[in-house]
Structures are given as C-alpha cells and as structure tokens.
C-alpha cells in the first residue's frame, strides 16, 4: 500500500480518479457513470448513475460470499441482563421480515420512517430494513423529549413511526408511551401507523386506531428483498442542533456513504474483515449510524450494540469486560467515557481483572481529547490512543492518524493529520490562510469527498448560509484550530469558545488542557464571564476524581499557578471552582454555552439532549455562592 503522503496527495490532486478507485471497494449493481457532478441546485454529488443498495451490501453480499455464519451483531445489555449474537444470515432474516412489515404498511422508496428506539437489535433491524426498501430513516435519540420528537416528525413527515415501549438506564426505567403520545398530539403531521416493540420491563398501551404490535405484525409479514437505488438517493436524515433552535436535517446518500465508510474501516481504523469493532456510542448519534451499524457491516466486521454506560453497569470495569468477552480489536468512544472511568477508578485497578491483549487501537472523538485523558488511557491500555475529529455533517473522520495506512507519531492534543480527500485549511476572518501555529477557523476546501452531506433536508438555503457562505469555496466547520509545522491539526473548540481578555484572543480549551493536568481533576470546563474592565474573564469549573479531597482555596491557588505558568498572566485566570458535576448532553459534550448564559444571567433553553436538567439549578446555586457574574 502507498504511504500516507502518497495516498493523501493523490486524493487531492486527482480526486475523481482516486474516488473511482475507491468505488471498486463495494459491489455495485451498476457502476457509476460519473464520479463527480453537480445536481440541479449546483451542489456537488458523487457517483451519479451508480446503482446499489446499502442493506444488500451490509447483509446479502456477505451471506453470499462466505460470511453467513460469522457473527454480525453482538448485543450486550447489562441493565437488562441480556446478551445475544446474530450471524450475518440471522441478521439478514430479521431485516427481511422487518422490511416486509414496513412494506405491508405501504412504505416504499422515498417514504420517511422515524425510529424512536433505544439501543436494542430491533433498532438496527429497522434502519437496515428502511435502507432495503429505499425508505429514508430518521433515528431520533430515545432520550429526546416529546417536543423534540414532534419537531422532527413535522419536518421529516414520516409515513410510519417505529418505537419501543421504553428503555432502562442503570436502575431507571424510561417509558416511551407518554413522550410518543404527547409528541403526536403536538405534531401537525400524523404518521399513518405507529409500530411498537414491547420490552419485558415496561409495557406500552396500544391505541387501536393508531398503534400496532411489532411482534404480531412481524409474524404476519413476508420477507422483503432489496430495491436497486441510485447512488444519489437519500439513505437517512439525522437531525443535529442548530443555532436557530430548529434542528438541521443532515442528509446522507447511499453511494458516497457506502464507499467512504468501507474505506474508513480499513484505512483509518486498521481493522480487518471478521474482527470485532466496538463503537461505544448510541445509534441516535452519527457515530452510531456510521460505526455501530453501517461501517462495520458494510466491511464484513462484527459490531457490538452495547446498551449500557461506562460506569455503574455495574462498575468502571464494564468496558474492559466487554473488550475481553467479545475479543474487541478496535474501540471507538468519547473522551467523556474515559474521563468517567478515570474518575471512578483513577488507578485503573479494575483493569487488572481482564485480559485486553485482543485490543489493537483506541479511537476517541466527540470532543477534544485532553492530554491527561490521553496519557491515562495510553499508560493503562498499552495501545495507540488516537484522537480524531469529524462531525455529523461529514459522516466519517476528517482528521485522524490513519492506522490502516501508516501509523504516524502521535501528538497529544492533536487530532492528527487530514484524512484522504479532505483539504483542510486554517483561515483568518478575512478568508486568508494563517501561518503555522496561528489559530483560526478550520475549513475544508470544496468539493467535499464522498460520504458528506449533500444538503439539508427541506432546507437548501440553510445549507448554503450555514456551511458555504461564511468562506466561499470552503466548507465551514464552525471549529477553531491551528496547524503545526508538520501539518498536524489541533482543534481548539467551537469558534464561540474563543474569548477576548483585555484585547487578547484566548482559547478556553487551552486553559482546560492545563487544568486537566492536575492529578486529581477528573474533568473540567472553562467559560468566559463578562467583565466591565477586561471584556471577559475566564472561570474554571473542575470535577474531582473519586476519593480526592481538597480545600477549594488551596486547589484554586494551585490551578491558577498552573495556568499562569503554562499560558501566562495574560490569561487573567483567577477563579477555579469545585463542582460535583458539569452539565452535559447525553453524548458527553459539556454545555459551555449554557454555562456562560447562566453566569451572564442571559436567557437560555436547555437542549433536549441534556443528560440531567437538575444540574443547571445546581450550577446556578454554585455560581451564586461564588459570586460569579455578580461583579
């Protein structure tokens, strides 16, 4: 195989030839006539004229080519005490029946199906069944409120809603019936049917005029085969938060998505067909779409569907148990998961109970991997720990150390180098490239490679204004960062996490990096608080590891000294407060914007993705007691 430098250079200098080669990775019914073209809106499209089916590629192809009896899907649910395995043949049979179930309800190519379900095999069946029929699925994370579900129903206008009776998180049962009923009362659009999968621990009371029992309908349905689709036909809509409050419906097409994910499994994650890949995330997020469901199955790997948490199911050794039990080769999760494990078990004593010799790589993404978390994971796992960067919009990594091509030296704090196909630049506010080491806006020169969003569902103008207008000729990521002299990219956070202190532009993430170096800090957040004299001043909030005990004033002095030493007095860092916990989304992202709003006494709306809204009241009290924002 070519070196990273050769491969990357080819992907930029002759992209159409490069992506034509990559298209041969998958089995087309009809090979594309065009590699790169433009649609009627002037947007770039890959593989026009190609015909394929994603469900066929993920299932039928492997059954026909020697993987029928290999494990495709492993389900592990510590909360319900359930474990199961499905081979590629068995998974195909289940998907055929669910596709038949949907077909019986009139679902066909182009129809939308909203899936409001937890991390259970039926959710995977549903996604692949929609892909089989050419229906467009939109998975709505099971923790979303009724209002958020209603908003997505009104935007996608699904023919059918697929749901489960509920979920279980640690010891908490979450019934879905009240949320579904409220959402459908609020929504203007009404699906023709709501099909409910009943779980043993929580029952859903079916409304005869609307609701259908999943198992009964499945038993009455005939298996359905795949439908040949155009490469440019939509596969799914995945809604991501937007600044206007209305979620953005990120689109994904079939052809580019299949090629990009197949390539990424080999070249980025360095896994081989038949090995076990575990993305410890949720199917409601893009990670779950790309690397729990589609990526591993398109590639012929075994994927793990884990319905649990990194801690308290039952302890901080859960991840190690899963890795050993199923022989996981590559683990992909969020830095937050490792911070939670580190907080509960700082010395990784639970890890001694398990044999992790099967593990080759740990990949982290979802938010920036702080150096302390990187060092802890590296010390205890003894495998390369690779931070990489991508977004819902891209659908697969944009920055990574491409383990399957050539493992480059790892630089803690960096998401490494641009992935093949991504011409990543750092621009200043006038659109000019900045010098190495200078922070700016991270953008991607157009055209984007296959697998990225072609547009936003029902909102082409918003696609243009959000991603194309800020820097013409480039895709606007919304993130800030810089490149070093070796071309490594350091993502410093969202553009709005840059603060102005007495005329100096400073990154709150760089201060967080310093705070995280304290041996007793499990996680932290630095926010900008308005100040009449300096414009903004940074305030740090730190959560301590289990068993750590400090006088707040003493710890504050130590942390201030660390920031002064590493960044300098210019940071004006003078406040560090101990918090019991930080407000986060269910995917682990810290809600810094809301923290700033609380400090500045500005109105805010808690997102539907918040893990526990009660933490916001705790934070208000904490800030009040420490006189934050009262100067």
The answer to whether 404 and 416 are in contact (CB under 8 A) is no
The answer to whether 370 and 513 are in contact (CB under 8 A) is yes
Helix (H, G, I), strand (E, B) or coil at 550: coil
Residue from 429, 51, 496, 432 nearest 232 by CA: 51
CA-based diameter of the chain, in Å? 71
Q: What is the pLDDT of residue 496?
A: 65
DSSP secondary structure code for residue 282 in this structure? -
Vertex 540: Cα angle to 536 and 541 (nearest 5): 135
Measured CA to CA, the distance from residue 322 to residue 151 in angstroms comes to 36
Q: pTM for this one? A: 0.85
Measured CA to CA, the distance from residue 212 to residue 204 in angstroms comes to 11
Angle between helices 335-344 and 371-381 (to 10 degrees): 70
Instruction: Check if CATH label 3.30.300.30 holds for domain 502-625.
Output: yes
Q: Which residues, at least 6 apart from 17, have a Cβ–Cβ distance to it below 8 Å?
A: 10, 35
The answer to whether 389 and 415 are in contact (CB under 8 A) is yes
Q: What does each C-alpha distance from 251 to 312, 393, 455 come to in angstroms?
A: 35, 8, 6
pLDDT tens-digit series, residues 115-144: 999 999 999 999 999 999 999 999 998 877
> At 479, which helix (H) or strand (E)?
strand 474-483
Instruction: Look at strands 193-197 and 211-213 and give their pairing.
Output: parallel
DSSP secondary structure code for residue 570 in this structure? G
The answer to whether 480 and 498 are in contact (CB under 8 A) is yes
Helices (H), 74-173: 88-104, 121-133, 146-156
Sequence spans of domains, the chain: 101-227, 502-625
> DSSP string covering 176-240, please?
SHHHHHHHHHH-SS--SEEEEEPBTTB-----TTTEEEHHHHHHTPPP-----EETTSEEEEEEE
Q: What is the pLDDT of residue 245?
A: 56
Q: Is the dihedral of CA 405, 406, 412, 414 positive or negative?
A: negative
> At 371, which helix (H) or strand (E)?
helix 371-381
Q: Which residues, at least 6 apart from 118, have a Cβ–Cβ distance to it below 8 Å?
A: 142, 164, 166, 167, 307
Q: Provide the CATH number for the domain formed by 101-227 in this structure.
A: 3.40.50.980
> DSSP string covering 300-332, please?
T-EEEEE-S-SSSSSSTTHHHHHHHHHTEEEEE
Residue from 528, 531, 544 nearest 597 by CA: 528
The position carrying tokens 């103008």 is 461
Instruction: Mark residue 105 as left, alpha or beta (left: phi above 0; alpha: psi -120 to 50; beta: remaining).
Output: alpha
Residue 458 CB neighbour total at 10 angstroms: 12
Vertex 103: Cα angle to 97 and 107 (nearest 5): 135
Q: What is the pLDDT of residue 532?
A: 65
**What tokens were used for 281?**
């995330």
Which residues of the chain are under the pLDDT cut of 50? 243-244
Q: What does each C-alpha distance from 529 to 271, 442, 594 come to in angstroms?
A: 45, 25, 12
Name beta bridge partners: 37.
Answer: 45
Q: What is the pLDDT of residue 261?
A: 98
Burial degree of 40 (CB within 10 A; 0-12, 13-18, 19+): exposed
Measured CA to CA, the distance from residue 321 to residue 327 in angstroms comes to 10
Measured CA to CA, the distance from residue 378 to residue 369 in angstroms comes to 12
H helix count then E strand count, the chain: 20, 31
Q: What is the pLDDT of residue 518?
A: 94
The answer to whether 483 and 430 are in contact (CB under 8 A) is no
The answer to whether 281 and 334 are in contact (CB under 8 A) is yes
The answer to whether 502 and 513 are in contact (CB under 8 A) is no
């Amino acid at each position: 195989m070519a070196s990273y430098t050769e491969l990357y250079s080819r992907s930029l200098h002759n992209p159409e030839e490069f992506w034509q080669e990559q298209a041969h990775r998958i089995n087309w019914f009809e090979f594309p006539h065009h590699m790169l073209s433009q649609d009627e809106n002037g947007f770039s499209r890959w593989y026009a004229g190609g015909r394929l089916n994603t469900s066929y590629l993920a299932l039928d192809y492997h059954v026909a080519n020697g993987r029928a009896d290999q494990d495709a899907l492993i389900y592990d649910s510590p909360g319900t005490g359930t474990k199961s395995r499905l081979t590629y043949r068995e998974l195909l049979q289940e998907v055929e029946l669910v596709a038949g179930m949907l077909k019986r309800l009139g679902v066909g190519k182009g129809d939308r199906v909203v899936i409001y379900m937890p991390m259970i095999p039926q959710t995977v069946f549903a996604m692949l069944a929609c892909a089989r029929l050419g229906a467009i699925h939109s998975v709505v994370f099971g923790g979303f409120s009724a209002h958020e579900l209603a908003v997505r129903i009104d935007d996608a206008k699904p023919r059918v809603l697929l749901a489960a009776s509920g979920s279980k998180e640690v010891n908490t049962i979450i019934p879905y019936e009240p949320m579904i009923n409220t959402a459908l009362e609020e929504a203007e659009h009404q699906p023709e049917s709501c099909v409910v999968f009943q779980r043993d621990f929580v029952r859903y009371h079916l409304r005869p005029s609307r609701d259908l029992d999943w198992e009964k309908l499945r038993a009455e349905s005939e298996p359905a085969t795949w439908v040949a689709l155009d490469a440019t036909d939509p596969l799914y809509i995945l809604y991501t938060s937007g600044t206007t409050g209305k979620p953005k419906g990120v689109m994904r097409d079939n052809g580019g998505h299949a090629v990009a994910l197949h390539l990424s499994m080999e070249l980025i994650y360095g896994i081989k067909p038949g090995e076990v890949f575990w993305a410890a995330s949720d199917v409601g997020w893009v990670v779950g779409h790309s690397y729990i469901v589609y990526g591993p199955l398109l590639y012929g790997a075994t994927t793990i569907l884990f319905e649990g948490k990194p801690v308290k199911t039952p302890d901080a050794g859960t991840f190690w148990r899963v890795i050993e039990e199923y022989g996981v080769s590559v683990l992909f999760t969020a830095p937050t998961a490792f911070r939670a494990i580190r907080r509960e078990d700082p010395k990784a004593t639970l890890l001694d109970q398990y044999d992790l010799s099967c593990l080759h790589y740990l990949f982290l993404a979802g938010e920036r991997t702080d150096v302390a978390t990187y060092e802890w994971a590296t010390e205890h796992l003894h495998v390369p720990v690779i931070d990489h960067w991508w977004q819902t919009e891209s659908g697969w990594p944009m920055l990574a150390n491409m383990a399957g091509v050539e493992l480059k030296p790892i630089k803690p704090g960096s998401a490494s180098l641009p992935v093949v196909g991504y011409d990543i630049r750092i621009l200043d506010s006038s659109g000019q490239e900045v010098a190495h080491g200078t922070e700016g806006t991270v953008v991607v020169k157009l055209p984007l490679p296959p697998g990225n969003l072609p547009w936003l569902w029902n909102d082409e103008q918003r696609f243009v204004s959000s991603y194309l207008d800020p820097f013409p000729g480039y895709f606007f990521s919304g993130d800030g960062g810089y490149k070093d002299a070796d071309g490594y990219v350091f993502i410093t956070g969202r553009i709005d996490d840059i603060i102005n202190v007495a005329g100096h532009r400073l990154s709150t993430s760089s201060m967080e990096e310093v705070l995280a170096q304290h041996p007793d800090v499990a996680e932290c957040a630095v926010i900008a608080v308005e100040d009449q004299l300096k414009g903004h001043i940074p305030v740090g909030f730190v959560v301590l590891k289990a068993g750590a005990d400090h006088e707040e004033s003493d710890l504050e002095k130590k942390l201030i000294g660390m920031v002064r030493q590493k960044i300098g007095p210019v940071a004006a860092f003078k406040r560090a407060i101990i918090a019991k916990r930080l407000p986060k989304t269910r995917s682990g992202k810290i809600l810094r914007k809301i923290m700033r709003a609380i400090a500045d006494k500005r109105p805010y709306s808690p997102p539907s993705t918040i893990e526990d809204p009660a933490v916001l009241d705790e934070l208000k009290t904490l800030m009040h007691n420490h006189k934050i924002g009262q100067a």
